[in-house]
Amino acid sequence: MISSALATLLLLAAPAGTAQARESYARCLKDLVRTSVEQKADTTAFDTALAAGCKDKEAAFKNANIAADAALGLKRSASEKAMAEQIADYRAMAKEEHQEALKASAPQ
């Protein structure tokens, strides 16, 4: 996963469009986690929802960052690889948040 210091540097260096796309994608994932926890969706159901959810926000996030990287002269292949890793990190964090929230809401 991306270290918090590196993520902060990326956010500070990101053009406004990329920051907005990142926030929109992150918010969508948080909403998906919240809704799944409220519905007490198990891990399998959440994984299915995660695979199908937030696709439009994910695409906007990916495309904005690839365009910003291209404007800086970075190779598209490197940018696509970096975005795939970032998206995988966001999804992994959403899975972890879902699991932790389910544990916290389980009757003791």
Widest distance between CA atoms in the chain:
54
- Whether 65 maps to a domain, the answer reads yes
In a domain, 4, yes or no: no
pLDDT digits (tens, 9 = 90+) for 64-101: 999 999 999 999 999 999 999 999 999 999 999 999 99
Is 88 domain-assigned? yes
* Structural domain count, the chain: 1
Here the tokens at position 71 are 């404007």
Within a 10 A sphere around the Cβ of 59, how many other Cβ atoms? 12
Confidence of residue 8 (pLDDT cuts 50, 70, 90): low
Residue 14 backbone dihedrals phi, psi, to 5 degrees: -75, 140
The domain of 40 spans 16-103
Classify residue 5: in a domain, yes or no: no
For residue range 23-45, what is the model confidence (pLDDT) as tens digits? 999 999 999 999 999 999 999 99
